Amino acid sequence: MSSSDTLVATGNKAHSHGPGSPVPLQARSERPTSYDVADFAVPNGREEEWRFTPVRQLKALFEDAAGTETPKVDASGPEGVVFETVAADSLKVGKPQDRSAAVAWNHAGDAFAVRIPVEAELTEPVHVNVASLGARGFSHLIIESGRHSKAIVIIDHSGSGELGSNVEIVVGDGSDLRVVSIQQGDHESIHLGQHDAVVGRDAKLHHVAVTLGGKIVRIGTNVRYAGPGGDAELLGVYFAEGGQHHENRLFVDHEATNCKSNVLYKGALAGDHARSVWIGDVLIRAAAEGTDTFELNRNLVLTDGARADSVPNLEIETGEIEGAGHASATGRFDDEQLFYLQARGIPEDAARRLVVSGFFNDIIGKIGVPEVTEHLHEVIEEKLARAAELSTSAKAVIGQ
Amino acid sequence: MATLEIRDLHVSVDTENGPKQILRGVDLTIAGGQTHAIMGPNGSGKSTLAYSIAGHPKYNVTSGTVTLDGEDVLDMSVDERARAGLFLAMQYPVEVPGVSVANFLRTAKTAIDGEAPKLRTWVKDVNKALADLDMDADFGTRNVNEGFSGGEKKRHEIVQLELLNPKVAILDETDSGLDIDALRIVSEGVNRFAGQGDKGVLLITHYTRILRYIKPDFVHVFVDGRVAEEGGPELAEELEANGYERFLKAGAK
Ligand SMILES: Nc1ncnc2c1ncn2[C@@H]1O[C@H](COP(=O)(O)OP(=O)(O)O)[C@@H](O)[C@H]1O
Ligand SMILES: [Mg+2]
């Protein structure tokens, strides 16, 4: 397969899988999870959960050894929020699903907890900054929203190191919690993260994964429901540039009745060997009557040499549901759109920006946190400017 | 007075089997104040002519010239051509997801004029242009051409024509696929534009029907990549009566 191939994986079949052995989600949900690193072999890249990932570059995060640094974690927030350091095993909502998550669990030390008290309605977002400082380190965050509280928590991952992280999220009954996780490490940074969320009765979780930087970023987000009436909106935005690998793996496990999930991930890719992977697994168990779920992944390939893989899986074990659907589409930048805008006088670079911002428009509108959406607009502009420079210099090389 | 001058234009497209010649020497002069109709059968190269003038990258000009008021159009990028005063109403307008009509129109107007339009008058102008084409004001919040019916797309092209007010408008089968009411509404828009007196119009059509509403000063019959015959409005009447038969036979010789 040449490097300019774009894999267009469309998931119109309920059990579609890419090349490789199809693994039913039921089996996936029973896949070993463990707090013990020894329960996971070092991945070789042929495993179902690692086959898209450049595992050879991840040795440091598979090694069962203490970190060479402790990532710097600092947090701030409006009155009412409680920050504290707690034992790693104080909650155990998440359970590592792969070797890197188990390594991170065991070597992160204590967890840093953010608690939103019962019925608190925070007026400003809570910020948690996790900076990895150039070495190999691990972090463990816990976010808990009390019953009927309302809050926004923004986790900002930055730095130049290799980071393994676990995030445990408990959405208290009737609460409304918005967690935005931004991955924006330096160009050489690596980040493997696992997020586990439990959505309480009648609670609402908005989980937003924004990946804007890092050589390899792989975030697994797992959501389950503690009671009926839960609602999870899972959003993701990524923009991989040359040499970057951005991977998102979702697993929504519907077991409680009358719960909703809505997954929307959108990504752009520009540059040689820009790579994105999106795996969206949704399982509706036999007991999960009244479930309403939809998942959608769209990718916009802006240049040759970039590749997006997209694999939605929806498995339904009960007929008594409200609705279930999934879709996935990967397309190239549409030169006809560019021509149309330019034919109305709009210069090429502005036209390009308009098309790409149009592509992201709906999802950015859903993020609902102005400081995040502004930042996103800025970073997307910067990335497009870099992509435009690339194509100009490429033309110069060909001599056009 | 704007003049668009096309001289001996040869255009090819790249195909799997190498370049394919489509335009074979087109000569055409559209002076300000004139409306020219180009009529021709399917596949004769009408859209190729329109796209080539607008600068679509698919079409390679192998020889010939296109100038607007003496300026070399072929040397300009697509957006420079538009800013120089050319406008192409497309046969198949393109959908641009996530970009609202209001944002699109304002961005285009700003680019064409070199400055942002005055907010208060602009909103009024947009609403009037939409209303004139019998389009609801809330089209402004819709995404460009997305989910528009065929007729709405064509009316949206004429909304843009009126708001951007170029020197020369090329209308590529704007009449195709319109019902009679929409045809009348679109024609009135074109006539308002042309009625300013100094504007050039190149009206490309497959059918004579629209010529009942828009009166051309000149009619060109386009066959096999070139102008086969030119005349006044009477030529359109002949086509109405006899079709393209006579020209196709001539072209096939
Ligand atoms: N990309 C292309 N590859 C091959 N042939 C093309 C291509 N684009 C246009 N053509 C051919 O060029 C001719 C003229 O097309 P067009 O300009 O669209 O004609 P019209 O608008 O008069 O119907 C047609 O025969 C068409 O099939
Ligand atoms: Mg045509």
Least confident of A34-43, B213-222, B236-245: B236-245
Domain ranges of chain B: 3-96+167-251
Quote the pTM value.
0.88
pLDDT band at A27 (very low <50, low <70, confident <90, very high): low
**What tokens appear for B60 in the block?**
């390679």
**Residue to mutate, B44, B171, B175, B220, ligand 1, most ligand atoms under 8 Å from C-beta:** B44
Mean pLDDT of A358-378: 95
Cα A8 versus chain centre, distance: 20
Q: What pLDDT digit, counting tens, does each position of A228-245 carry?
A: 999 999 999 999 999 999
Which of B60, B25, B23, B18 has the alpha carbon at shortest distance from B43? B23
For residue A349, give the chain B residue with the closest CA: B79
A376, A237 contact by CB (below 8 A):
yes
- The torsion region of residue A111 among left (phi > 0), alpha (psi -120 to 50) and beta comes to beta
Q: What is the pLDDT of residue B1?
A: 74
Are A358 and B78 a contacting pair at CB < 8 A?
no
- % of chain A beyond a pLDDT of 90: 84
Mean pLDDT of chain A: 90
Q: Which two tokens stand for residue A216?
A: 């390899």
Counted domains in chain A: 1
Smallest CA–CA distance from A363 into chain B, residue: B98
- B240 exposure class (CB count in 10 Å sphere: 0-12, 13-18, 19+): middle
Q: Is the pLDDT of residue A9 over 80?
A: no
d(CA A245, CA A308): 10
Q: What is the pLDDT of residue B207?
A: 87
Token pair, residue B156, equals 């949206």
Which of B209, B142, B199, B126 lies closest to B174, judged by CA?
B209
Q: What is the pLDDT of residue A390?
A: 73
Interface test mutation site (partner B, options A237, A340, A352, max chain B beta carbons within 10 A): A340
- pLDDT digits over A319-331, tens only? 899 999 999 999 9
Judged by CB atoms closer than 8 Å, whether chains meet at A359 and B79 is answered as no
Dihedral (Cα; A368, A369, A371, A374), 10-degree rounding: -20
User: Could you confirm whether domain B3-96+167-251 is CATH 1.20.1260.10?
Assistant: no
Model confidence at B52, in pLDDT bands (50, 70, 90)?
Answer: very high
Provide the residue range defining the domain that includes A280.
4-399
d(CA B26, CA A118): 77
The SS3 assignment for B214 reads coil
Banded pLDDT at B213 (limits 50, 70, 90): very high
Cβ of B13 below 6 Å from ligand 1? yes
Residue B226 reports pLDDT greater than 90:
yes
B214 touches chain A (CB under 8 A): no
Say if B138 is an interface residue toward chain A (CB within 8 Å): no
Q: State the pLDDT at residue A13.
A: 31
pLDDT higher than threshold 90 for residue A38: yes
Q: How confident is the model at residue A19 (pLDDT cuts 50, 70, 90)?
A: very low
pLDDT at position B240: 86
Q: CA separation (Å) from A152 to A124, A143, A200, A398, B60?
A: 7, 11, 17, 49, 54
Check if B225 has its Cβ closer than 6 Å to any atom of ligand 1. no
Give me the phi and psi of B212, to 5 degrees please: -75, -20
Q: Is B216 in the pocket of ligand 1 (CB under 6 A)?
A: no
Using the CB atoms, write b or e for A81-108: b if 16+ within 10 Å. Answer: beeeeeebeebebbbbbbbbbbbbbbbb
Binning pLDDT at 50, 70 and 90, where does residue B177 land?
A: confident
Sign of CA dihedral A32, A33, A39, A40: positive
The pLDDT of residue B108 is above 50: yes
Question: Three-state DSSP class for A130?
Answer: strand
E strand or H helix that includes residue B190: helix B180-194
Using the predicted structure, report yes or no on whether residue B63 has a pLDDT greater than 90.
yes
